[in-house]
Structures are given as C-alpha cells and as structure tokens.
Amino acid sequence: MELYCYQCGRKRVFNSLSAITDHCKSKEGHACAQECKPCKRLFVKQIFLDQHVSAVHQWKCIPCDLFYADEAKLAAHHDSTHNYPCVSCPGQRFPSADALDMHNRASHAHRCAACKMDFYTEKSIADHVARVHGFKCGQCRSKTFYAVAALQAHVQALHGSRCEKCSLGFRTAELLAQHEETSHQLLPCGWCPAVFDCGAAREAHVAAVHFQTGRRSVAVRSVLSPMMMLKIDRGVLRDLRAAAAAAAAATAASGR
C-alpha cells in the first residue's frame, strides 16, 4: 500500500500510515501539514483540519481565544473563568474584571448610600438625597443627611456640648467651658446688687428697673466697652443715685 502526502504531492510516497503520520509530525512535514491553531495538531489535508475544527473547536471563547466542542462546555468555561456579575444589575455578567469596572464607572458612578440608586452626576444624587433622605440638622439648618444615624453622628461631633445660657453648640466640653468662662461672667448692675451672666440681660434689667424716670433717658450700649457699660446723661445719673439711696434707706428702716 502506497500513501502520498497531499501537501508534498507525489514527491513523497509512504508505505504505511505510521510512516506518513511521522512525516507530518516531523520538522520536515510541518511545512506541508495543516496545523490546528487551538490544539496544534497536524493534518495532511485541509478538509481533515476543517472536520476536526468543526467537531472539536466549534465554540470559541472571545475573551481568551479558546475553543470548545459544544455550547455547554463553553458555558461551563464562562461560568468558571469569566463570571463577573454586577451587583446592581441582576443577571448581568461580564467576561473580565476590567469590563465590570468599566460598566460600573459608566452606569454606577454616583450611588446613593441609603437606597443604592445610581445617578450620573453629583448634582442629581445630591438632589435625590435632599428630597428623599433629607434629615436636616436643626442647628446648622443648611446641612442635610441621608440617614438618622448620620445626623446623630454629626450632632454628637459638632453640637455635643450645648451652652444652657445661649444655646450655642460646641464639639467638646473643653470648648464649652472656655466659652462659658469668657462669655458668661457675672456682670454687676452698677445701680443695685443684682448681677447677670450676660450683657444683654443686664442691659434689659437697667432699662426696665432703673430708667423708669420722668426725665429723658439716653441709655445706650457702648460698642467700645467690653463690659457693655451704659452711657447716661448726668441728670439721669443723679436721679438714679437718689433713687438707689432712697431704696437703701427704706430697706434699712423696714429691717429695724
């Protein structure tokens, strides 16, 4: 039995199947053999290569350029190798981590931490948070938070220590103490034994108690004095001193 290499033509004749197979596998035979690129097998004719590819390598994996004999094997390969699901898009999977990352950047660039909705711009997600999840700070007014827990954390951090006298909030107890020492020192009335913890209260007291005279009153807060002393004319001062002396005498007489 004589066998011919169809690639070499009738130049080469072989007496057995093993001989022609060895020829195709040899370096000399590589030039005339048809190679299957996926598995590197050699075939003496193109038709044999085509039959082989159709039977064994019909289904190709595009991302990694591998071939599979049937669709089930290709699907199994995808599930084990190219299974990158998008957590925000049910059922949507991607062949590689890079493809999934590109998808997330394009579709889920701005995600609401409260409800997991996605938005394309920072303004759109800010409007959504303010409209749907808006929890405003009662002290800052302009600050809005997407959850009660976030608002509580903000209040604790910025307004955890509150001044009972003026309702100002401070981050720490040390800052509150410093504020109270500098802003709420006891201020004497100056016309009677009364004392006050702020200038506004003392001013209101003086205006209500000590300026009830028939004369013209010109009590004005001095913007230059840190103790907010009152400027009054000499006539009012004389009346106030007389009234204070009379009140003291009356108090002494009643105590006898």
Confidence grade of residue 76 (pLDDT, cut at 50, 70, 90): confident
Model confidence pTM above 0.85: no
- The confidence score (pLDDT) of residue 226 equals 35
Percent of the chain past pLDDT 90, that is, above it, reads 0
Domain boundaries defined on the chain: 3-56, 59-108, 135-182, 186-254
Of 106, 86, 107, which is closest to residue 95 (Cα–Cα)? 86
Confidence grade of residue 254 (pLDDT, cut at 50, 70, 90): low
Q: Is the pLDDT of residue 162 over 60?
A: yes
Would you say 67 and 60 are in contact if contact means Cβ atoms under 8 Å apart?
yes
Per-residue pLDDT reduced to its tens digit, 181-219: 777 677 788 778 888 877 777 888 888 887 754 443 334
Average predicted confidence (pLDDT) for the chain: 71
For the segment(s) 135-182, the CATH number from 3.30.70, 1.10.3720, 3.30.160, 3.40.50 is 3.30.160
